[in-house]
Structure formats: structure tokens, C-alpha cells
Amino acid sequence: MKRGRWILPGDSAARLIDGVGLAKLIRGEIAADVAVLRGSGVTPGLTVVLVGDDAASAVYVGAKEKASREAGMAGETIRLPSATTQAQLLALVEQLNADASVHGILVQMPLPSHIDPDTVIRHIDPAKDVDGFHPINVGKLLIGHTDGFAPCTPSGVQRMLTHYGVETRGADCVVIGRSTIVGKPMAALMVQAGAGADATVTICHSRTRNLGDHTRRADILIVAAGRPRMVTADMVKPGAVVIDVGMNRIPDASTKSGTRLVGDVDFEGVRQVASLITPVPGGVGPMTIAMLLRNTVRSAQRTLVA
């Protein structure tokens, strides 16, 4: 896949950022790294813990397990009933922390309401926290240390920007959304010194006044608000790069399921203004799993020099 070019205002439509193709490229790189590790006697192991029977989580977990096995990794999913207690889940996490064959631990969210997700995350060994949610990894990201793990979705977005040749240095980057999963770590990545970063970052959220005044300044607009098609063409600077992290199901009687998947951006309108844009689906989503595998391989590589 060739690096993208900047499209000047006046071109008919934005070029699509192909998340599926880029994720496939990254997973090929990962498979090569896994082969080297296996030659040294180390098979990267990712264990995903799924508590309860949330249908969407089950589909996502299955995709993670399938991707890890395709890369030559040891991928395991531990499925627990929704009645599992917090103490039982924490005991399992401690077992996985102590298991040398497990290099990455991911407890799938959301958890049943009687289990506190922050407590669970804090019990995961930061060296195996390939989701990048442990406070130690969050702190390392904020201060610019690269020996921790950054959350997978923001990491995937940054890889997209660098792969497509987007100039981030000195660019105005606006992030809509302040979640600890995407918005805050995305801003933290983009403001660091170095390649794919060095941007001037603004975080917008549900209490931001005059949102369009901020978004129309953005050279790079990253939207992770969880509101379907909230960003419209009049809110986007001509020639901007638009990354849509949203995944929303809306009613659609024309489909078999009665719903369809859309992002946080009005795709058809915004693509007439932007220079580059991610589709939904097929944009950011595949990159999240690819970066999860990348983090797990990094964890396994560290065992060779520990």
C-alpha cells in the first residue's frame, strides 16, 4: 500500500484511509516477529477474559482470538459466567500474572455491574496490560515514556496518520471525546515530541461551547464521541484529515438486521470537504486488533532480554 498524498481543497472527494489493508500489513509484520520469537523458544501468548454473555463482546473477543492464532500466537479466551464474583475474577487475573506463557492479559469490557472495572485493571500486571489501561501505563504515556503500552485504538490511529504521510508536526489536532479509552490517550499521543505527533491538541467534549469553532480549525480531526453522524461537513476545514472512531448502530429497515453501522461523522457529506477520511466500518476498527497483537508481541520480546 502506497502512502497517501495530501488532497487539496477543490478535489472532488477525500481519499479513503484503508484500515483493513493497513491492519493486514501490520499483522504480516507481526507474524514475521512471532516466527523469530518462536525460533527463540518463545510463543507470544494473549489471554482474553470474557465475563457474561454480552453478544457484541463475544463477537469482538472471537475476532481477537482468531487474529492472534493467524499470526502464530497462542490465543486463548477464558469465558466466565455473569455470576462470577469480583474476588473470583481477581484470583484468575493473579494466576495469569504469574503464568510465564501469558504475555498479554485483556479483560473484556463491559463487566457485569457487580464488578468494578478499575479494580480489575489495577490488578493486571502492567507488563502484561496490552490494553494500556493500567495507571502505570497511562502515566508513562502522559510523560512520554515509550516502555509502557499505549491503548490500542489511539495507537492504531497514530499509525494510520504516519502510514498515509500526514504531517502532524505543528498541525492543529482536535479530538472530540474525553474517554480514558480513546480521547484522553489520543490527545496524549499527539502532543508528544516525535514522529506522528508534535501536534497542537485541543480536546472537545459534551460541555464544549461552540464546537464547530474548534473543529473548523483542525488540520486533523479525530472523532470519538459515540454520537452517530454528529460531525457534519460545515464543521470541517477544507482539506482536513478526518478520523472517525465512532461505531454506532442506527435503524435501517432496508437491511436484514434492521440496523446499520455508522460513525460519529456524516461520512457522505464530510468526504466532500476532507482530504483523507476513514470509513465506518473498515477504518479504525481493524487497527485496534492489530495494535493489540503488536503490544502482545512487544511484551513477549521483552522476555528475551529480561
Q: The pTM is what?
A: 0.93
- Mean of the pLDDT values across residues 1-21? 65
Q: Which residue has the cell 469480583?
A: 86
| Residue 96 scores a pLDDT above 60 | yes
Sequence-distant contacts of 119-123: CB under 8 A, at least 24 apart: 119/86, 119/90, 120/86, 120/89, 120/90, 120/93, 123/90, 123/93, 123/94, 123/97
From the candidate CATH numbers 3.40.50.300, 3.40.50.720, 3.40.50.10860, 2.60.120.20, the one assigned to the domain spanning 41-125: 3.40.50.10860
pLDDT range class, residue 6, cuts 50, 70, 90? very low
Architecture of domain 150-285: 3-Layer(aba) Sandwich (3.40)
pLDDT band at 18 (very low <50, low <70, confident <90, very high): very high
String of b and e for 248-271 (b: at least 16 CB within 10 Å)?
A: beeeeeeeeeeeebbbbbbbebbb
Nearest to 117 by CA among 188, 175, 52: 52
The answer, yes or no, to whether residue 36 has pLDDT greater than 70, is yes
Instruction: Say whether pLDDT at 9 is over 70.
Output: no
Beta-carbon count within 10 A of 160 CB: 24
Lowest-confidence region among 48-62, 133-147, 175-189: 48-62
Least confident of 14-28, 44-58, 224-238: 44-58
Q: How confident is the model at residue 5 (pLDDT cuts 50, 70, 90)?
A: very low
Mean pLDDT of all residues in 63-90: 95
Beta-sheet strand order (sheet of 172-176): 15-16, 276-277, 241-244, 220-223, 172-176, 200-204
pLDDT reported for residue 12: 63
Q: Mean pLDDT score of the chain, rounded to an integer?
A: 94
Q: How confident is the model at residue 154 (pLDDT cuts 50, 70, 90)?
A: very high
**Mean pLDDT to the nearest integer, 280-291:** 96
Q: How many alpha carbons lie under 13 Å from residue 139 in its C-beta half-sphere? A: 5
Rg (CA), the chain: 20
Q: In terms of Cα–Cα distance, which of 46, 213, 248 is closest to 130?
A: 46
Residue 195: closest CA among 169, 221, 171, 220:
169
Across 261-280, average pLDDT: 97
pLDDT at 252 over 90: no
Distance linking the first and last C-alpha atoms of the chain: 36
pLDDT band at 306 (very low <50, low <70, confident <90, very high): low
Mean pLDDT for the stretch of residues 233-252? 95
Q: What is the pLDDT of residues 168-197, one digit of tens each?
A: 999 999 999 999 999 999 999 999 999 999
CB 108 within 8 A of CB 51: yes
- Rounded to an integer, the average pLDDT of 114-122 is 98
**pLDDT (0 to 100) of residue 4:** 39
Q: Do 150-285 and 41-125 fall under one CATH topology?
A: yes
Instruction: Indicate the pLDDT class of residue 153, thresholds 50, 70 and 90.
Output: very high
Assess whether pLDDT exceeds 80 at residue 1: no
Higher pLDDT, 1 or 277: 277
pLDDT beyond 90 at 78: yes
d(CA 243, CA 201): 15
The residue ranges of every structural domain in the chain are: 41-125, 150-285
Residues of the chain above pLDDT 70, percent: 96
Cβ-based neighbour number of residue 161 at 10 Å: 26
Residues with catalytic function: 64, 108, 131
> Do residues 289 and 62 touch, judged by C-beta distance below 8 A?
no
Q: What pLDDT shows up at residue 155? A: 98
194-230 tens-digit pLDDT: 999 999 999 999 999 999 999 999 999 999 999 999 9
